Amino acid sequence: MLSESYTAVEANRRKKFDGKKWLRVVGMLLVLLIIAFPFLWLIISSFKYEKDIISFPPRIFADEYTFDNYIKVWTTIPLLDYIKNTVIFAGGTVITSVFFDSLAGYAFARMRFKGKSVLFYFVLLTMMIPFQVFMIPLFIQANFLGMLDTYAGLIIPRMTTAFGIFMMRSFFVTLPDSLEEAARIDGLSEFKIFLKIMLPLSKPTLLSLAIFTLMNSWNDLLYPLILTTSSRMRTLPAGLALFTGQNISFYGPVMAGTVISMLPLLIIYVFAQKYFVQGTAMSGMKE
């Protein structure tokens, strides 16, 4: 009799626990649906005819679908050139920014020199200045140096960022001092300590910073639009923006181009998400 009562109580407890579990699952699915809905709408609309896209009231699904939007965007604008420019710009920015940001972050976190705190606070202060404030001086400077419509003109101003320096410093601060002390006893120089010991330990944070930088550069519209004046140097967002302005009624090809530009980032994030989560978590750890 006692065992039966215990079994009934245990069953009720598990039932209540399962109810809470399913409530959490339903809540997460609801949030996922809200976040994913715009992307699903974009993908579905890229296969719709123009009349179905602009119909009112709007409908999620159409009666007929077509691949003409993808064919039209490939034949109307130099999409391959835009993709090539975006890959060079985003890839060059990621490589240089990650390297220089990690160097600066290590210096602010592990090295001692006069004015370090003041200089670091000045770097953080630049994060509060919007790009619109200095985009005209940047354009004038790039024009004076003959760097407009060049890959160097796109990459060099983005070779380091205040956010990247802050992120890398936040990680390097958490590493124990014993690592440096042991390396110095072995006779390693400061740069070799950074290159052979600190940098390999920061792999998750480096990958997280690389993903952030890649997303920011790949999706940036205003910056490459200002520093490029010819169609052959446009990036994907800038090229699609001009395409929209010239053919304002063709929403289908614009959506198809947006899906094409979104796919590489989505694929990269799927394969690198575990390093992204790990690097973000480790950036907030304390020794």
Query: What per-residue confidence (pLDDT) applies to 247?
Result: 46
What type of residue is 163?
Answer: F
Query: What per-residue confidence (pLDDT) applies to 4?
Result: 53
Number of Cβ within a 10 Å radius of residue 69: 25
Query: What per-residue confidence (pLDDT) applies to 156?
Result: 93
Query: What per-residue confidence (pLDDT) applies to 285?
Result: 46
* Beta-carbon contacts of residue 230 (< 8 Å; ≥ 6 apart): 149
Q: Which residue has the tokens 């606070």?
A: 121
Query: What per-residue confidence (pLDDT) applies to 9?
Result: 52
Query: What per-residue confidence (pLDDT) applies to 179?
Result: 82
Retrieve residue 85's tokens: 């420019």
Query: What per-residue confidence (pLDDT) applies to 7?
Result: 59
Query: What per-residue confidence (pLDDT) applies to 22?
Result: 81
What is the C-alpha separation between 102 and 197, in angstroms, rounded? 13
DSSP H stretches of helix in 46-159? 50-53, 68-76, 79-110, 116-126, 131-144, 151-155
Query: What per-residue confidence (pLDDT) applies to 197?
Result: 86
Tell me how long the chain is: 287
Query: What per-residue confidence (pLDDT) applies to 57?
Result: 83
287 residues of the chain, pLDDT tens digit each: 545 555 555 555 555 556 677 888 888 889 988 888 888 888 888 888 888 888 888 788 888 888 888 888 888 888 888 999 999 999 999 999 999 999 999 999 988 888 888 999 999 998 888 888 888 999 999 999 989 989 999 999 999 999 999 999 988 998 888 888 888 888 888 888 888 888 888 888 898 899 889 989 998 888 998 898 888 888 988 888 766 654 455 778 888 888 888 888 888 877 776 666 655 555 444 44
Query: What per-residue confidence (pLDDT) applies to 169?
Result: 92
Number of Cβ within a 10 Å radius of residue 89: 25
Query: What per-residue confidence (pLDDT) applies to 286?
Result: 45
Retrieve residue 16's tokens: 């209540």
Residue 159 in 3-state DSSP?
A: coil
Radius of gyration of the chain (CA): 25
Cα dihedral value 8, 14, 17, 22, nearest 10:
-120
Query: What per-residue confidence (pLDDT) applies to 279?
Result: 53
* Beta-carbon contacts of residue 150 (< 8 Å; ≥ 6 apart): 233
Query: What per-residue confidence (pLDDT) applies to 11?
Result: 54
